[in-house]
Amino acid sequence: MNRNYAGIANMPEVIAANPPKDYSWAEYLDFMEGGADILTVPPHAKEPQTKAAQAAVSTKAPVWGFLLAFGIMIAAIFLSELPFKPFTFTDGTGKASHPIEPVMMALILGMVVSNFMTLPKAVSPGIKFCVKKLLPLGIIFLGARLNFHEMIKEGVTGAAMALLETAVAFMLLLWLSKLFKLPRKLGLLLGVGTAICGGTAIVATAPVIEAEEKDVVFSVATVTLLGLIAMFVLPVIGHAIQMSDRAFGYWAGLSIHQTPQVIASGFSYSADAGATATTVKLARVCLLAPVVFIVGLLNARGEASDGVATKKKINYLQMFPMFIFGFLAFALAQTLGWLPTLHFNSPTFFNAPMQDPKLGEWLVKISSWCIIISMAGVGLETRFHAMKQTGPKPFVAALIGVLVVASLVFVLIKGLAL
Strands (E), 11-169: 89-90, 96-97
Model pLDDT for residues 291-345, shown as the tens digit of each residue: 888 888 877 776 655 555 455 566 666 667 778 888 989 988 888 888 876 655 5
Of 135-139, 302-306, 338-342, 360-364, where does the model show the most confidence? 135-139
Q: Where are the domains of the chain?
A: 3-40+61-416
- Say if CB 144 and CB 367 are below 8 A apart: yes
Task: Report the run of H or E that residue 142 belongs to, with start and end.
Answer: helix 135-142
Which candidate, 168, 117, 158, 236, places its Cα nearest to that of 401?
A: 168
287 against 250, higher pLDDT: 250
Q: Could you tell me which residues are beta bridge partners of residue 97?
A: 89
Residue 407 pLDDT: 95
Span between the terminal Cα atoms of the chain, in Å: 49
DSSP states of 190-206 as a string? HHHIIIIITHHHHHHHH
Model pLDDT for residues 89-119, shown as the tens digit of each residue: 766 566 667 777 899 999 999 999 999 998 9
311 against 72, higher pLDDT: 72
- Say if CB 197 and CB 189 are below 8 A apart: no
Confidence of residue 217 (pLDDT cuts 50, 70, 90): confident
Average pLDDT over residues 222-233: 91
- Say if CB 80 and CB 106 are below 8 A apart: no
Residue 45 pLDDT: 43
Residue 49 pLDDT: 46
345: phi then psi, degrees, rounded to nearest 5: -85, 115
- Alpha carbons 138 and 110: distance in angstroms, whole number: 18
Model pLDDT for residues 252-263, shown as the tens digit of each residue: 999 998 888 999
Residue 93 pLDDT: 60
Q: What is the pTM of this model?
A: 0.80
Task: Report the run of H or E that residue 70 belongs to, with start and end.
Answer: helix 63-80
Whats the size of the chain, residue-wise?
A: 418
Exposure string over 65-102, b if 16+ CB within 10 A, otherwise e = bbebbbebbebbbebbbeeeeebeeeeeeeeeebbbbb
The DSSP call for residue 341 is B
Confidence of residue 388 (pLDDT cuts 50, 70, 90): confident
Q: Report which residue type is found at 56.
A: A
Which candidate, 207, 221, 185, places its Cα nearest to that of 23?
A: 207
Q: Report which residue type is found at 307.
A: G
285 against 342, higher pLDDT: 285
Handedness of CA 166, 167, 168, 169 (dihedral sign): positive
